[in-house]
Structure 1
Amino acid sequence: MIVSALLTSVGINTALCVLFFACYSILRKQPSNYKVYVPRLLAEGISKRKKRFKLERLIPSPDWVAKAWKLSEEELFSLAGLDGVVFIRTITFCLKIFTFAGIIGILVLLPVNCWANQMQDFDLADFADNSLDVFTISNINSGSNWLWVHFFAVYIVTGFICLLLHHEYKYIASKRISHFYSSKPQPHQFTILVRSVPTSSGCSVSDSVESFFREFYPSTYLSHVVVRHTSKIRSLLNESKNLYQRIAQLRSDPSQRRHKLGDCFGQNDKLVDHYRKQLEDIEENVRLEKSEASLAGEEARAAFVFFKSRHSAATASHMQQSVNPTQWITEPAPEPRDVYWPFFFESFMRRWISKLLAIVATISFTISFLIPVVIVQGLVNLDQLEVLFPSLTSILTIKFVTQIITGYLPSLILQLFLKVVPPVMRLISSIQGYISSSNIEISACNKVLSCTIWNVFLATVFSGSLLNKLSLILDLKAIPWKLAVSVPAQASFFITYVVTQGWTSVLSELFRVIPLIGSLISKPFTSHEHEIDVPSIPYHRDVPRVLFFGLLGITYFFLAPLILPFLLAYFCLAYIIYRNQFINVYAPKYETAGKYWPIVHNTMIFSLVLMQIIAAGSFALKKLQPASAWMLPLPVLTLLFNEYCRQRFLPIFIAYSVDSLINKDREDQKDTGMAEFYGKLVIAYEDPALLPIQYSSNSDSLITPLLS
């Protein structure tokens, strides 16, 4: 790829960035779009729709940028919890890395690459026609002593990243502990989930749980709630909610509704009566199902068990309860709002089978994703494209068409395919038997990250450079050499990938394209009084995206330092935009207290080791054997550092220590409100499907004449 193709991609995406910023600044001010751009503020009553028209609504303004910039970490914590703080600190962590690496890469490594002339001389007079390979390590002559500059750069940046990783791990671990000490008593701290409860004839699950825990935990056991099969009830409730919303839509603003839908009085009234009758029938079925669910036969072999202290609950959750490890399986309970009820697998065998199926589905999807990767690489390599489609040869001679195809189209196609990955991986994780939404998202986060690294990085690298050399790919001993050959060859693609996938994706997050389109489509059929849906940030989508760009920056900083300015631009945009979204859009649906940070840490360690292996192979390929040999201790030192962090900090993210739990329990003994808390604890884990609903009675208020 030549510089002009890269400039074409940068120009297109810069124009899109400006357009997104301008449109967002205008659309966010329109009262009809408040539920898209400020749903959190609207639901909390902080922002209200202004009916009076003002000219300033049509003028773009950057005031939201200043507000997002001034947001302190304490304010962010109150808005998004510790998970939101960890996410933003991940972005600032990458900013620090690539600012430091950028100084070395742009001021030192880039001039060294340009001054060399193994591939071609750098032509300043005809800058746009230079190949991007001129800016990479591939342009340095074999055996050149200038490669020692890259060698020391790798060591320096590795040391800097490890220092930052240690600082962040220590800081977030301390924040997690302080968050635990400062929080009020929470139901999940006193609760465990027990599965695979054995029963005998004539004895219910509830009786078995009661007798077991009263026998073995007589002084600390408080009570329990048995999980029941409520899938039928849940589907009926969803249907009744949809019917209720249809009635509300038909009855809101009747004069406009009649005009927009073209319904006369009689047709609309009959439709409402029809829906109302259906709603009453469904609610009668719900009552019957609930009465059946209360019977012992509908009990699942699982229960939430409550204890009088955090220490007792933690002890019970981490100890094997039975000689048979497939019975009385315990684990810490999630927050009540975090419980994921639809796929509640209570037996050991069903969970084991579901995990096996999830692994098979993940591998199958990851392999099938290679198809768009190969298509994209065919666009990047024009020679392959001309061989496959000879009829396109005349079109590919047009310079502008070539620039679009090689500089913009491949990244755009890959971006569209990548949109499918997060929802698919979340679906796979949801049927894996997890009891909490947080565990589902963490599992999906790991799956999305693995799929992205394998398909977008490794598969792209090898399909682009070694597509016809499968035997070399399968030769594990030659991995460093293969990476040294393949990774620099794909530098131009990943630079345009950062511009296309990075810039536009983070700006589409700001613009909220899909919710905006959905709002415009549903606007004629909904009223302003319709219930506001406040979304939560999809960490399983955004965390892997940020980490993958971090991997690209660490891997390519010494190979192709030209990528660093574009990465810095991406992380600067992400820093402002996500802080703005936490203020206006997202509200946390659960709190893991920073459990996403170990994923960040592990990904950064993997990125470092990958970069060091590529560096060793690159120096060997460039016939600088001493540098290649001295690079070998660096992965070992990095993995030793990772092991230290794993031993020192990771246990804090898995479970709280005994002294923390007992000290917190002693504080509770002085709290006079604990008796009331224990009373509420028993009802905290009631299945929402078993709670009473009164949609049909509420709809009576909607059954008013269309003309008053």
Structure 2
Amino acid sequence: MLVSALLTSVGINSGLCVLFFTLYSILKKQPSNYDVYIPRLLVDGTSKRRSHFNLERLIPSPGWVRRAWNLSEEELLSSSGLDAVVFMRIITFRLWAHFCAVYIITIFVCYLLYYEYKYVSSKRIAYFHSSKPQPHQFTILVRGIPVSVGSSISDSIQSFFTEYHPSTYLSHMVVRRTNKLRALINDAKKLYRRIIHLQSSPTQNKYRPGNCFGLFGHKVDIVDQYEKKLEDIQENVRLGQSEVSLAGEEIPAAFVSFTSRYGAAIAFHLRQSINPIQWVTEQAPEPNDVYWPFFSSSFMRRWICKLVVVVACILLTILFLIPVVFVQGLTNLSQLEVLFPFLKSVLTITFVSEVITGYLPSLILMLFLKMVPPIMELLSSIQGYISHSGIEKSACDKVLWFTIWNIFFATAFSGSVLYQVSIVLDPKNIPAKLAVAVPAQASFFIAYVVTSGWTSTASELFRLVPFLWSLIRKPCTRSTDDELEVPSIPYHRDIPRLLFFGLLGITYFFLAPLILPFLLLYFCFGYIVYRNQFINVYAPKYETAGKFWPIVHNSMIFSLVLMHAIAVGIFTLKKLSLATTLIFPLPVLTLLFNEYCRKRFLPIFTAYSAETLIKKDRDDQNDAAMAEFFDKLVTAYQDPALMPIQLSANPDSLNSPLLSST
């Protein structure tokens, strides 16, 4: 919306400039207009009115531009004085300071993007070469498996890959419907935790009356009752696992493993069938990264879910405009006094008005925004991704663009357009106001950086929610270090925040440089805090080998183009046609640079080259541990719902009694 509006502004104002320049070059030549266009020359006697007709008067000419451009500073000083020279220096400094700043920051950011893209790409390849053999490097996911009459899905996979990939095919693991089993296992884990809680709490009442009214009858041991219920659930799980193992519960999808990385890559990149919707292949995630509920969905259900997610994202974006409008109302003190006249006496207090208009809006917006990442993660989980990392990458994209639209664009326009009804009713003023919409919200975004940036980073270090939960849980349960669950960093929550602040820095550095120290302090603070959290708190749940970086690159390119659009709008509004013209090549060059990076680096993040894969396979040929690795690879992608229930974090618990006799 902003880009199209700015282009409209550029078109209208450029057309008006051309029209005015043309009319001026014609009208100034008419003797009757000398008192309008050259009164000084008439008074000084350096020019006289000429009455005879000349065809040249009717032809526009740019001669006045050349004369004005060639006027030296000394000539201007002698004719108009030092004040005129100072005035022209002011115009020059507005012009060239901002113009050069836009060029310098664009060149610098593009250089950094190229350097970082190249560095991350090289680290990704180096990480691959230094890593030990991983199951996902030798495995692909195959969907749309056709089954002939009288044979199973497993038989179809076996015959197909032994025929077309005989030298590299190793094994396969058919995916099965395990939704009900997962529900039973979750119930067992909840019941197990409840039993442990009762056993570890000496003050907890472990008995209750045997009747519903509690007035008579013997008391029942709750722990004993829960243990019997848990045994029943375990038995149901075993029966369910036996039923699921039958051929009727198979899904036309399977993890197919190969004896080499190159063999898996060939099977992934080549279309396996004449029918493009059969034998569809994609890269397999790490075994612990697989999102198993996805496989129980049919193709039609996944397609419908994608449509539902698109509609849900649009509705969420629209609904989020309500808090945005409310927040922008808080930033306008006069608007508050009109809407809430009973607060007029309170708003006259300086401290209260500063808190309400300065701190409260960004705080409210930050609290509402905290609900967005889990919602986007939920929407991405039903969209058809086969891995947790895929879900988180999709959620990261959704949160980023949601933040840019609802926090940047909606805030800017609601602050300058929404509350000025007269502007909406007078469309000819809209192009001029668009150029000042973003700069008008500079103070709000500075407060937003302080609230959402500084405070969020400090709360990340303090871990407020886990700390409060720990205080509540400790008196009730007795946990050991073996039962602790190490969290993983929510990339879909933190990466969009970092990129949004990067967008603010790029777009506001030449509009409101005051925001830069606040952003600099935020990034310095975040650098220390997150390094500390990676050392002490977070453990990786999966490894994408840097696949989040293209999101960062695309966001920075968008920020640069947005900055160019704002700069064009501002220079157009100020009638600086030269600066406007010279800015126009920048977005084109930036997009060309982005296209080059997409061709040069993005394929490295999509798939490894044959050169890389074959070299790694040859390095592993003489490794004696590969035989053991291939033995484990056969069962690496077995559905956890089909494995024995593990109710404790300690792996040895599988070989020990489920519950103690206490």
TM-score where L is the length of structure 2 = 0.81
RMSD between superposed Cα atoms in Å: 2.5
Aligned partners of 1:302 and 1:346 also within 8 Å:
no
Determine which of 315, 324, 337 is the counterpart of 1:373. Answer: 324
The residue type equivalent to 2:184 in the other structure is: L
Shift of residue 335 of structure 1?
A: 0.6
What residue is the counterpart of 2:120 in the other structure?
Answer: 172
Secondary structure of 1:435's counterpart equals coil
What residue is the counterpart of 2:178 in the other structure?
Answer: 230
Question: Which stretch has the larger CA shift, 621-630 or 484-493?
Answer: 621-630
Determine which of 250, 258, 269 is the counterpart of 2:202. Answer: 258
Closer, same or farther in 2 for the Cα pair 1:243/1:347, shift >3 Å?
closer
What residue is the counterpart of 1:625 in the other structure?
Answer: 577
What residue is the counterpart of 1:594 in the other structure?
Answer: 546
The residue type equivalent to 2:585 in the other structure is: P
Closer, same or farther in 2 for the Cα pair 1:402/1:472, shift >3 Å?
closer
What residue is the counterpart of 2:368 in the other structure?
Answer: 417
5 Å matches for 1:422-441?
422-441=373-392
What residue is the counterpart of 2:156 in the other structure?
Answer: 208
Closer, same or farther in 2 for the Cα pair 1:535/1:141, shift >3 Å?
farther
Mapped partners of 1:188, 1:269: distance in 2: 51
Mapped partners of 1:431, 1:475: distance in 2: 45
| 1:333 and 2:281 matched | no
Determine which of 87, 95, 113 is the counterpart of 1:147. Answer: 95
Shift of residue 395 of structure 1?
A: 2.4
Closer, same or farther in 2 for the Cα pair 1:475/1:442, shift >3 Å?
farther
| 1:514 and 2:465 matched | yes
What residue is the counterpart of 2:111 in the other structure?
Answer: 163
Measured against aligned partners, the alpha-carbon deviations of 1:179-202 in whole angstroms (never above 9, x if no partner) come to: 111111111011000112121232
5 Å matches for 1:439-454?
439-454=390-405
Mapped partners of 2:348, 2:514: distance in 1: 27
Closer, same or farther in 2 for the Cα pair 1:509/1:141, shift >3 Å?
farther
| 1:246 and 2:190 matched | no
Shift of residue 394 of structure 1?
A: 2.7
Shift of residue 308 of structure 1?
A: 1.1
Aligned partners of 1:249 and 1:527 also within 8 Å:
yes
Secondary structure of 2:294's counterpart equals coil
Shift of residue 142 of structure 1?
A: 9.7
Aligned partners of 2:208 and 2:219 also within 8 Å:
yes
Closer, same or farther in 2 for the Cα pair 1:336/1:561, shift >3 Å?
same
The residue type equivalent to 2:259 in the other structure is: K
What residue is the counterpart of 2:338 in the other structure?
Answer: 387
What residue is the counterpart of 2:627 in the other structure?
Answer: 675
| 1:191 and 2:143 matched | no
| 1:691 and 2:643 matched | yes
Closer, same or farther in 2 for the Cα pair 1:468/1:402, shift >3 Å?
closer
What residue is the counterpart of 2:223 in the other structure?
Answer: 272
Shift of residue 383 of structure 1?
A: 2.7
What residue is the counterpart of 1:703 in the other structure?
Answer: 661
Measured against aligned partners, the alpha-carbon deviations of 1:623-654 in whole angstroms (never above 9, x if no partner) come to: 22211111111111111111111111111000
5 Å matches for 1:30-41?
none
Measured against aligned partners, the alpha-carbon deviations of 1:530-577 in whole angstroms (never above 9, x if no partner) come to: 610100000000000100001001110000000011111111110011
Aligned partners of 2:506 and 2:560 also within 8 Å:
yes
Mapped partners of 2:586, 2:453: distance in 1: 30
Mapped partners of 1:283, 1:476: distance in 2: 70
The residue type equivalent to 1:467 in the other structure is: L
Mapped partners of 2:550, 2:298: distance in 1: 29
Secondary structure of 2:565's counterpart equals helix
Secondary structure of 2:483's counterpart equals coil
Closer, same or farther in 2 for the Cα pair 1:268/1:317, shift >3 Å?
farther
Mapped partners of 2:464, 2:277: distance in 1: 47
Aligned partners of 1:473 and 1:482 also within 8 Å:
no
Question: Which stretch has the larger CA shift, 524-533 or 434-443?
Answer: 524-533
Determine which of 563, 573, 598 is the counterpart of 1:646. Answer: 598
Closer, same or farther in 2 for the Cα pair 1:370/1:444, shift >3 Å?
same
Shift of residue 264 of structure 1?
A: 7.2
Mapped partners of 1:194, 1:220: distance in 2: 16
Measured against aligned partners, the alpha-carbon deviations of 1:437-458 in whole angstroms (never above 9, x if no partner) come to: 0000000000000100000000
Taking only the aligned residue pairs, the percentage that are identical comes to 67
What residue is the counterpart of 1:73 in the other structure?
Answer: none
Mapped partners of 2:392, 2:421: distance in 1: 35
Secondary structure of 1:535's counterpart equals coil
Mapped partners of 1:239, 1:484: distance in 2: 58
Closer, same or farther in 2 for the Cα pair 1:685/1:511, shift >3 Å?
same
| 1:307 and 2:307 matched | no
Secondary structure of 1:258's counterpart equals coil
Closer, same or farther in 2 for the Cα pair 1:476/1:636, shift >3 Å?
farther
Shift of residue 481 of structure 1?
A: 5.1
5 Å matches for 1:357-368?
357-368=308-319
Secondary structure of 1:408's counterpart equals helix
Mapped partners of 2:464, 2:429: distance in 1: 45
What residue is the counterpart of 1:282 in the other structure?
Answer: 233
Secondary structure of 2:281's counterpart equals strand
Mapped partners of 2:574, 2:399: distance in 1: 35
Mapped partners of 1:513, 1:486: distance in 2: 36
What residue is the counterpart of 1:29 in the other structure?
Answer: none
5 Å matches for 1:444-593?
444-467=395-418, 482-529=433-480, 531-593=483-545
Mapped partners of 2:428, 2:350: distance in 1: 41
Closer, same or farther in 2 for the Cα pair 1:673/1:262, shift >3 Å?
closer
Mapped partners of 1:318, 1:603: distance in 2: 28
Closer, same or farther in 2 for the Cα pair 1:358/1:668, shift >3 Å?
same
Measured against aligned partners, the alpha-carbon deviations of 1:388-439 in whole angstroms (never above 9, x if no partner) come to: 2233223222222110111100000001000100000000000011110000
Shift of residue 662 of structure 1?
A: 1.0
Larger radius of gyration, structure 1 or 2? Answer: 2
Determine which of 620, 631, 636 is the counterpart of 2:588. Answer: 636
Aligned partners of 2:207 and 2:221 also within 8 Å:
no
Aligned partners of 2:178 and 2:296 also within 8 Å:
no
The alignment of Structure 1 onto Structure 2 pairs a total of residues equal to 560
Mapped partners of 1:546, 1:433: distance in 2: 27
Determine which of 244, 250, 256 is the counterpart of 1:293. Answer: 244
Structure 2 stretches lacking a partner, 5+ long = 1-87, 210-217, 648-653
Question: Which one has more relative contact order, counting CA pairs under 8 Å at least 6 apart?
Answer: 1
Aligned partners of 2:169 and 2:259 also within 8 Å:
yes
Measured against aligned partners, the alpha-carbon deviations of 1:301-325 in whole angstroms (never above 9, x if no partner) come to: 1000011111111111122222222
Mapped partners of 1:492, 1:221: distance in 2: 62
| 1:398 and 2:349 matched | yes
Aligned partners of 1:194 and 1:329 also within 8 Å:
yes
Mapped partners of 1:679, 1:699: distance in 2: 29
Mapped partners of 1:159, 1:446: distance in 2: 26
Shift of residue 521 of structure 1?
A: 1.5
Mapped partners of 2:110, 2:389: distance in 1: 28
Mapped partners of 1:263, 1:334: distance in 2: 45
Mapped partners of 1:262, 1:291: distance in 2: 38
Shift of residue 518 of structure 1?
A: 1.4
Measured against aligned partners, the alpha-carbon deviations of 1:52-106 in whole angstroms (never above 9, x if no partner) come to: xxxxxxxxxxxxxxxxxxxxxxxxxxxxxxxxxxxxxxxxxxxxxxxxxxxxxxx
